[in-house]
Amino acid sequence: MKIGVSYFGNRILKHVKEDLQNIVEHSCNYVVHTFSENDLKYYKETMQDIIKVSHNLGLEVYIDPWGVGGVFGGEAFSNFLLENPDVWQVTSNGTAVPIACLNNEKFKEFLKGWISVAVDLGSDVIFWDEPHLYINKLMEDKLNQWACLCEICKQKFKQKFNYEMPTEFSQDIVKFREESIVNFLTEMSAFAHQKGIKNAVCLLPIENPIFGVKNWDKVCGIETIDIFGTDPYWISFEQKAALMGFGGKVLKSLEVGKFVGYFSQKTQDLCKKYGKEGQIWIQSFKIPEGREQELTIAIDTAYNVGIRNIAAWGYDGCKSMSSIRSDRPDIVWEILGKAFRKILRECF
Ligand SMILES: [Zn+2]
């Protein structure tokens, strides 16, 4: 049984050590360290020390390209995007948006540089968190603002389909966008594998092709992906329930057991089919007061469908980051520890 938690917001080694000990006491056997562009530029050696301390405490280390190029999840800014406006994605309205195009060679080279450093630091697994194309943050107008129609994408589209890339959303666009994500992950994970590190991918729990990947088989089936999963954050996605494409149904609300259960089962089935390890992420940020026990339901639900790699985002109910902190982070962290201990006991 693998149990993990994400850790970020602190680069002071003596405090990191204390927190990591606390993570071990909460039954975790791995930690996900965020490694943003800021870390890459200013904290390389510090991160090496942090990874060493993690290993010394018996924790496996996942490393996360937190917000790199705006392509992955994370509360981090991208300097690469500031310096390279030519790599930005272009929406169907012709607007350049600050997120790197997955078909852009310059971005891919930059990310390979990030991978090389991540491997040199001594990490065990790269955690490719929520790789995505531009998502209209409002998720309101279904036919508005999707990407990418940059010159590179337009050329690639024409080569594949033999006609100019349309600005209207269509089945060919769905295919092209999915292929862009799959080709990108295939190339990056193969590069990482060659360097001797494992790959984990987490897709957003969205099946609507305008906002996410509809055909998860294509991602789970990538040869060099070892761990595949999703992050069904039932509270975060609550307001957008109707747009999630939940098994083809429109939901009015996201009840924890049903939502986590649906995506855990989907992950488990796909992983069985492609011989991968299934991973489910549990929301432990922005938990409203009085809903803390839902974490136990989420963890039990994932465990009961057979998931044996469960992680929470993030440490200490995200107390240190006010924009995503839970109302009662101490209670969230305590409940999480109890729920983790329980499944660990059941497993042996
Ligand atoms: Zn593009």
Tell how far the Cα of 214 is from the centroid of ligand 1, in angstroms: 19
Tokens linked to 76: 């981090």
H-type helices in the chain, by residue range?
13-25, 37-42, 44-56, 79-83, 105-120, 151-161, 171-194, 217-220, 256-274, 294-304, 329-347
CA 316 – ligand 1 centroid, Å: 38
Ligand 1 center from residue 106 Cα (angstroms): 12
CA of 103 from ligand 1 middle (Å) equals: 6
Q: What is the whole-number distance in angstroms between the Cα of residue 294 and the centre of ligand 1? A: 40
d(CA 295, CA 54): 25
Exposed / middle / buried, residue 4 (Cβ in 10 Å: 0-12, 13-18, 19+) = buried
What is the Å distance from ligand 1's center to 152 Cα? Answer: 5
Per-block mean pLDDT, blocks of 10 residues, the chain (348 long): 98 98 98 98 98 98 98 96 98 93 98 98 98 75 77 98 95 95 98 98 90 92 98 88 69 82 97 98 98 97 98 98 98 98 89
For the chain, the structural domain boundaries read: 30-277
Cα 15 to middle of ligand 1, angstroms: 42
The pLDDT value recorded for residue 137 is 61
Answer whether 39's CB lies under 8 Å from 347's CB: no
- The rounded Å distance from CA 153 to ligand 1 centre is 4
pLDDT tens per residue, range 181-240: 999 999 999 999 999 999 999 999 988 887 778 899 999 999 999 999 999 999 998 877
Task: Of 128, 143, 132, 100, give the one whose Cα is nearest residue 243.
Answer: 143
> What tokens appear for 268 in the block?
């488990």
What does the pLDDT read at residue 188? 98
- pTM for this model (two decimals): 0.96
List, for residues 232-271, the tens digit of each pLDDT value.
999 998 877 767 767 666 666 678 999 999 999 999 999 9
What's the pLDDT score for residue 240?
74
Peptide bond into 314 cis (omega under 30): yes
Q: Is 30-277 assigned to CATH 3.20.20.80?
A: yes
Cβ contacts of residue 172 below 8 Å, gap of 6+? 157, 161, 166
At 4 the pLDDT is: 98
Q: How far away, in angstroms, is 283 Cα from ligand 1 center?
A: 31
How many angstroms does the Cα of residue 93 sit away from the middle of ligand 1?
14
Helices and strands, counts by H and E, the chain: 11, 10
Burial of 325 (0-12, 13-18, 19+ CB in 10 A): middle
The CA 341 to ligand 1 mean position distance, Å, reads 45
Ligand 1 centroid from CA 177, angstroms: 10
* 206 CA from centroid of ligand 1 (Å): 21
Provide the β-strand partners of residue 283.
313
What is the per-residue pLDDT for 211?
Answer: 78
Ligand 1 centroid to Cα of residue 154, in Å, is: 7
